[in-house]
Amino acid sequence: MSLVNPVNYKIRIEPDLQRFKFWGKVEILAEAKGPTKEIRLNVLSLAVLRCSVSEDGVNKEARFLVDPQKEELVIFLPHEVSGLVSVLIDYAGEISDNMAGFYKSKYVLGRKESYIAVTQFQESDARRAFPCFDHPSRKATFDLELVIPAELVAISNQPVLKEENLNEQRKLVKFVQTPKMSTYLLFFAVGMFEFMEKTNKTLLRVATTPGKVKQGTFSLDFARKCLDFCEQYYGIKYPLPKLDLIAIADFAAGAMENWGAITFRENLVLHDPDTTSRAGEERICTVIAHEIIHQWFGNLVTPADWKFLWLNESFATYFGYRLADHYYPDWDVWGRFLYTETETALDRDALWENFPIEIPGGEHVVINVSTAPIIYSKGGSLLRAIEGYIGEENFKEGLRRYLKEYEYACASSHDLWEAFGQASDIPVSNIMKSWVEQPGFPIVEVERDSNQLILKQERFTYLPGKSAQKWRIPISVRIFFDNGGVKTLKALLEKGSMAIELEPGVTAYKINHAARGFYIVKYADRENLEQLAGLVKQKSLSPEDRWGIQRDLYALVKRGDISLDYYLSFLNNYSKENDFLPLMSIATNLHHAYLVVGEAKGERIEAVGRKIFENALSLIGCEPKPEEKRSISMLRDELLWMAAMFGSKEAQNFGEAKFSALLKGEKIAPDITKSIMKIGAFYGNERTFEWFDEKLRSSQSEHERINILEALGCFPEKGLIERAQQYVLDNVPERNKFVPVRIMAGNRGAVPLMWEWYVNSISRFEQLHPVHYERVVAAIVPVCGLGKEEEVREFITQYIEEKGKAKQVLKLSLERLEVNSLMRKNNK
């Protein structure tokens, strides 16, 4: 059968926001590349009422078949057709509450509950709203009409073309035709929206439910900067006449790049000066930048298949930080990039339960806690490495070539490598194939032999196993001389091993200088490691290099190559550390060790952490300062909580005093509110719980609500933990249930109670959005399954066989449990 592709969709939808149903008509103009007797469309959870084929202006009824298993609608044509063909479909559906397809989102105005209806189609949920060719490569134009109550507002990708009053109660809203685009990018919403707008070359608007639009000023200003940067850097104007930033209360993801109508969780677009911390403000910027970059990477140029999805998400991830750094260079966003993206990706990619960035076979990709660190974070980290290797100008020129050649079309990884190669005269494709077409990453073991460095590579995994994989690794070595001189060497490790010649007088060397490379380093030469330790102590190394050394050491602890005791001793060299990147990584590693081997080594972990964190707090202070670096403010919030959890009296006293002020209705700095609430819970009681409950019910700020939900996971006493668990199930909105669960799973007091709670409440958790259910599983299994590994393994194996839910994430979580179990065994 020949391939049939869409040309245009004419869609008319009439929603009922009282009964939460909708009726639709879609006319699809398609082109058959050769003779065909049927058209296969995607459809899910829709009642198809009638199908017809238009011939010479006459609609003829057509037989059809819906296959729920394949999520397909097959329309049988009256006779064989080639070339253009037009099919018309009448259908009906429900406006769901599952945050996918066409769904409802609740908001409260005064004491009255109201709803808006919105869409979320990525990755393949457009089929829940209208029958379509639901694949990113099947691009078409869209003409959308909505029949809605006269008092409501409709939003879509394009501006309104015209409105017609049908009667006193209903009106018809027609939108300008979209550019050629994929189904997952179509968007429409109906409800009571308020707007704040700014017009320059492009109409920019922030849309919110009533009473919140004033919180859109910050985002509106930054969105304008994002558009200006992208148009200048990519050399292509933003192609639509308007761009909306739409705040939605009930939203499964963080944001979605619908072309011309970007949707966000409220706390990722609304900025409340009273509750938004500087960390929250920076997060707003990077998310807005990420989604606006998608207007070029993903919307203008779309992956040719699911296997190339990383082309969307890696670029948006990398440039989200790049754009924030362009306008706010004092924010030190690259430290956050390495901690949030690169460190996360390395930890995920060190598992055998894995896949390459470019998924073979073009299988459908679901973004979740298993796939996102590879597609977003590893991909973004590799782009940073490519830019460092070919140079900033060549990188920029390559991107311009790529976007211009494939605008309004689809592209593959090879197309990108070719563009970079043409711009730089460097065979980028030869290097990058090994990074995107195979899973995992290498460990580079280095040893000094007189005046040579001998480098060897193999695949790095936490658990034992054999692999013949090899990578082409750009190597950067920082060389330190006995006369105080410093030099950087570059090489390309193409095979299993290589030698690098050293000049006389070398006293120390640091592999993977500036942390551009995506690999782990193991120094077989302990003498060199001790020399590096001295440079760390003196802070003679950059924050990136100080971070990389201890990060690699902790990876080797988890793998079993070195002991936790050695790592803890090495941390003595960080006693004067006050930089965000190394300290945040140390805090994460010590927290992990505390959970995994706390019974055997808890006191030593507490003592090491307490010393480092108290020293850092003495350097930066416990109170935020208006003029300080943003990264310091973000670091303080984490250090206060970690120091208090590890028994610091100074942090405890400061936290309790500040929390007492909150209880009295006094304001404290938003930059420390999260840590203060967590400390309040950690040392709290029933009265504390009641205060959180009252505050959560009355708060109008999603930033504040998230802080409270995190604090609910920090009670250490069994009775309050069990109360918090039930509270999560009964009172926390579906969109946010995973937030306190994730914190509880990292609370040593709650860990023994979590697995049984999960098993007993599994039917409730299964009702969550799949991404949120997977976050719950990924939080609980790896740590809370320790000590009951066989029981957990048997339960999950049977669960996968019977239900198949969250299969990928459950398997990943079981491997993480095995890694943690091995680490516990090795460090008794």
Catalytic site residues? Answer: 291
DSSP 8-state code for residue 454: E
Q: Is the dihedral of CA 581, 587, 592, 596 positive or negative?
A: positive
Kindly give the pairing relationship between strand 112-120 and strand 255-256.
Answer: unpaired
- Residue 298: Cβ within 10 Å count: 25
> Which pairs count as long-range contacts for 660-663, CB under 8 Å and 24+ apart, including other chains?
663/691
Kindly give the pairing relationship between strand 242-248 and strand 203-208.
Answer: parallel
How many CA atoms lie less than 13 Å away from 294 in the CB half-sphere?
28
Which amino acid appears at position 414 of this protein? H
| Phi (first) and psi of residue 489, to 5 degrees | -110, 145
| Phi (first) and psi of residue 71, to 5 degrees | 55, 45
With 0-12 / 13-18 / 19 or more C-beta atoms within 10 angstroms meaning exposed / middle / buried, residue 683 is middle
Computed on alpha carbons and rounded to an integer, the radius of gyration of the chain in Å comes to 28
Whole-angstrom CA distances from 503 to 110, 451, 497 are 74, 7, 20
Asked if 96 contacts 90 with a C-beta cutoff of 8 angstroms, the reply is no
Contact partners, residue 427, CB within 8 Å, separation at least 6 = 421
Contact partners, residue 612, CB within 8 Å, separation at least 6 = 571, 574, 575, 577, 583, 586
| Alpha-carbon gap, residue 813 to 545, rounded angstroms | 30
| Alpha-carbon gap, residue 824 to 596, rounded angstroms | 6
**CA nearest to 535, candidates 587, 590, 577:** 577
| Alpha-carbon gap, residue 823 to 335, rounded angstroms | 28
Kindly give the pairing relationship between strand 261-265 and strand 301-303.
Answer: unpaired
| Token code pair at residue 787 | 């000590």
Where b means 16+ CB within 10 Å and e means fewer, 152-171 reads bbbbbbbeeeeeeeeeeeeb
Return the H-helix or E-strand segment holding 232: helix 217-234
Query: Bridge-partner residues for 446, per DSSP?
Result: 455, 523
DSSP 8-state code for residue 338: I
- Residue 501: Cβ within 10 Å count: 8
Which amino acid appears at position 13 of this protein? I
| Token code pair at residue 176 | 């300008």
Asked if 585 contacts 616 with a C-beta cutoff of 8 angstroms, the reply is no
With 0-12 / 13-18 / 19 or more C-beta atoms within 10 angstroms meaning exposed / middle / buried, residue 812 is buried
Where b means 16+ CB within 10 Å and e means fewer, 109-121 reads eeeeeebbbbbbb
**CA nearest to 817, candidates 782, 789, 793:** 782
Contact partners, residue 574, CB within 8 Å, separation at least 6 = 536, 537, 546, 550, 582, 583, 586, 612
| Alpha-carbon gap, residue 801 to 348, rounded angstroms | 24
